[in-house]
Structure 1
């Protein structure tokens, strides 16, 4: 199945990095990432769905009660897009913020770049 860039950005935020259930997280990764997808973040580079699944689970395990909330609508440009977000416990001030950039190929995420932002 092929998805819009905005859908990919939103699903990655909620269904991959915001998902506590390992089976649902993996199903989402298989749906929205290419087999050779790459995730770049400040601490490392993760190649392929298995590695993306592993690191997404590790990240979520450090704060299982945090939720990711977009602070702006997803933006699309060519085969790329971005979404700005904050994360924290519901009802509390955000603990951190970031921007996800993706490059899509055939309606799936081929590359994901995570940049942490300063809280506003």
Structure 2
């Protein structure tokens, strides 16, 4: 399956890093990531679908009630794209914010770059 860059960004946010069901999360990872994908974030570099699955699961376990919400529409440029988001408990002020950048290849995520941002003021997570 080949998705648009905007769709990949949105699915990654909700169906990978926001997923509570590990089986569905893994199925989405297998569908939207290339086999040789790489995830870059401030604390490390993770290679391959297994590592992305492990990291996404660990993050969700640490904050099971947190949701990710885009604060702007995804943007596309060439084979890349970005989406800005906030995360936190529904109905409360966001706990943190970030921007995901991806490089796509053949309709899948080949590289994901996570940058943490300063929280925008004032925002509340929708219920």
> Which structure 1 residue ranges, 4+ long, deviate > 3 Å from structure 2?
none
Cα distance in 2 between the residues matched to 1:62 and 1:35: 26
Spell out, residue by residue over 1:32-85, the C-alpha distance to the aligned partner (whole angstroms, 9 max, x if none): 000000000000000000011001100111000000000000000000000000
1:58 aligned partner: 58
Classify the secondary structure of the residue corresponding to 1:18: coil
Distance 1:88 1:79 in 2: 30
Residue 97 of structure 2 corresponds to 97
Residue in structure 2 matched with residue 79 of structure 1 by the alignment: 79
TM-score norm. by structure 2 comes to 0.94
DSSP-derived class of the 1:9 partner:
helix
Number of equivalenced pairs:
120
| Structure 1 residue 113 displacement after superposition | 0.1
Structure 2 stretches lacking a partner, 5+ long: 121-127
Match of 1:114 in 2: 114
The residue that corresponds to 1:24 in the other structure is 24
**How far 1:7 moved relative to its partner?**
0.2
Q: Which secondary structure state, in structure 1, belongs to the residue aligned with residue 3 of structure 2?
A: coil
Counterparts of 1:55 and 1:119, CA distance in 2: 23
- 1:93 match: secondary structure: coil
Q: Could you say what secondary structure the match of 1:19 adopts?
A: coil
